[in-house]
Amino acid sequence: MNQVDMALADLIGGMVSFALTLLVFSYIVGDNPLFRLTTHIFVGVAAGYAAVVTISNIILPYLIDPLFSDSQGFKVLTVLYLLMSALLLTKISPQLSKLGDVSVAILVGIGAAAAISGAVFGTIFPQIAASINIFQTEANPLLAIFIIIGTLSTLIYFQFGVQKGKSKTSESPQIIQWIGYVGQIFIVITFGTILAGVYFSALAAFIERISFIWQFITEFFLTFFNA
């Protein structure tokens, strides 16, 4: 591809991006067919990309290629995987859906085990270790104490302040109630920070799109007048 073709491809790509950006911004005036068309395009592209990645990274290397390997163990496992996949597809039919319960049970069990192990070894143990070692690594002892108070009060609130959707505050000692209130403050601050981060991310994306529109219009007119 020569430079002219590359420049033409960049121009077409920029025009498509510019048009899609304007169609998304059309939601400012309300829901409309152009905005829905754009969202359908995005969803379709994302679904197509996910399908291609799934086929190339999962189905072909794990379900198709091992059938042609020399290892009998790989072939047996692949046949078992294909059988479980076929049983999972029976969930589409109401009459045959019970045949897929085995596959669903395996998926749920593996997912639950992965989630629990990830929570224990990826969150709880590192949080405990960080809370224990914080006084050794933190130069500011007041900040370390503040972090310890936030961690303990939040855990105490979830353990003693809430149970199955109803409050146990009236059944807890007064000191536990006050510690639970402190934990609620930390939780609210955390959620507020997360919400602010989401809005900042959206604002950054909005500014980037505005900058793209301005840059595209500027470069388009400069190229047009220079030509």
Please give the average per-residue pLDDT across 140-156, as a whole number: 82
**What letters, b where the CB count within 10 A reaches 16 and e where it falls short, cover 65-89?**
ebeeeeeeeeeeebeeeeeeeebbe
What is the reported pLDDT for 227? 58
Q: H-helix or E-strand containing 222? A: helix 174-226
What is the reported pLDDT for 169? 46
What is the reported pLDDT for 162? 57
Angle of helix 3-25 relative to helix 33-54, nearest 10 degrees, comes to 120
Range among 57-71, 99-113, 141-155 rated most confident:
99-113
Sign of the Cα pseudo-torsion (223, 225, 226, 227, in order): positive
Question: Is the per-residue pLDDT at 208 higher than 80?
Answer: yes
For residue range 214-223, what is the model confidence (pLDDT) as tens digits? Answer: 888 887 777 7
What is the reported pLDDT for 128? 77
Question: Is the per-residue pLDDT at 200 higher than 60?
Answer: yes
Question: Is the per-residue pLDDT at 53 higher than 90?
Answer: yes
Q: How far apart are CA 203 and CA 209, in angstroms?
A: 10
Q: How far apart are CA 210 and CA 198, in angstroms?
A: 18
For residue range 99-140, what is the model confidence (pLDDT) as tens digits? Answer: 888 889 998 999 999 999 988 888 888 877 877 777 676 566
- What does 18-86 look like in DSSP terms, one character per residue? HHHHHHHHGGGG---HHHHHHHHHHHHHHHHHHHHHHIIIIIIIIIIGGGGSS-HHHHHHHHHHHHHHH
With beta carbons less than 8 A apart as the criterion, state whether 38 and 23 touch.
Answer: yes
What is the reported pLDDT for 7? 66
What is the reported pLDDT for 220? 75
For residue range 19-51, what is the model confidence (pLDDT) as tens digits? Answer: 888 888 888 888 889 899 999 999 999 999 999
Average per-residue pLDDT for the chain: 82
